[in-house]
Structure 1
């Protein structure tokens, strides 16, 4: 009988059905690093959203046959070790193709139209003291006619593109950074940065994409450009971002992610009280319908593995 252990069940707000085969099920609201090994010691299937499964742990779990990642990103799992040990790893795909793009545009609209700055003016009584019916204290920029640069053009990037086109935006799809050639329909990475009014990140975090955006890249952007990141915090050099915002090198940024989450040891971006920076606590993916789709696909992945036909495999 399979033993399934869910290491961080509080990370999903959804009705999770039980797999349709004989099994033992254990779930824990959260799991600290020193609890991972004892909780998985006799498990054959591990479910994790953000709990890390490092090589030193995996090598002590001879009975582990599958890791079901309750997310799309798998940077918290040592994929190479799983491959070497014939541990199947499956992830969740295309579940957030509506909720993440909506969050992207929430951030984009709020920043382009200076929502927070106008809210602060109201709180400070500026409109109440005005001589006319409207307040022109901050520029309001439309999305229509502006250019969106997409770095990453998978399912979510494509969904963001569809919304952008509906708003009347021009869309540039960035070629891989440093690529020698540019594919048809793509724009060179540096040219995308130079030509975009808004840049939105939709790539996984790996050694090649860590600090994809840093001081050099900020130097290429337009002075009023916005950077939107709903993917992974490590894609952006946070100290370079802080400097770019404080010096006015870019127009603003909307982030849903940080390099370390939760930021229990602090983060300078948490203290940045500026109307041109919006930080949300990694919730772009968490629309209720999206989380239910994730939960259903999670169990589908486990059942497919038990049928001998694993799906959504990354290892």
Structure 2
């Protein structure tokens, strides 16, 4: 029997029923007549294949019908018990899975906060990257800072870091003296492109070999947000061409704190570009130019390009 629900048509004179119809839900259409002979006490009966048949719903007319109904009851009870067991096991598995996931999440949070060895941290990032979407919610809720300072990074390292960082919501990235070059920063920009992550603090202090394309990549990385809390480019041996590349790729993103400490080769043109980057910005508060050996021409170029911003900036 393949029917799901049966409707019994009761004879008004005999109060017996030999006509049962397969009732096609949900439209309530009588599909076919079934050869079932029982005397129901109810005019409409729910009859599910393999489901339990309550004894009080039917009064069988013959021993064969009694055996048939008893067999259906036993099958129904057995299947119902099996389903209960499966459902309970499934609930326990779900609970176990959620418990394991919660333990894993807490473990990752602890490792991300306390792990100081940069090689171990890269291995953890590699594992997270291989997990892809399976770890995205854990990364999003647990990772708000990546500090690889003083650890030289290869392109493959930056690829893994960028892939993991793309799942974050907001992030501080410290790459102090990581020997980053143009190819590395282009890779990082490519990995973060299209993501919603906001890089709130970006520290590239002491990366002296970045080149013009690197500064263009830095601007691209920050260009998807309205304001950056801090961009540190101290001791990066910046040229006017690099600063121009940053300005062109940065777009309308504002910088609250720009640190250019100990860059002695920017020239008057470079300082003019710095002023243009910060001019008329509402969130800028600080410009760091310590130990830049600025000449009077450079200072004048900066002041001329800053516009009204000079009135509320500390430098």
Query: What's the TM-score once normalised by structure 1's chain length?
Result: 0.27
Structure (1 or 2) with the greater helix fraction: 2
Looking at both structures, which has the greater relative contact order when contacts are Cα pairs under 8 Å and sequence separation is at least 6? 1
Q: TM-score, normalised by structure 2?
A: 0.27
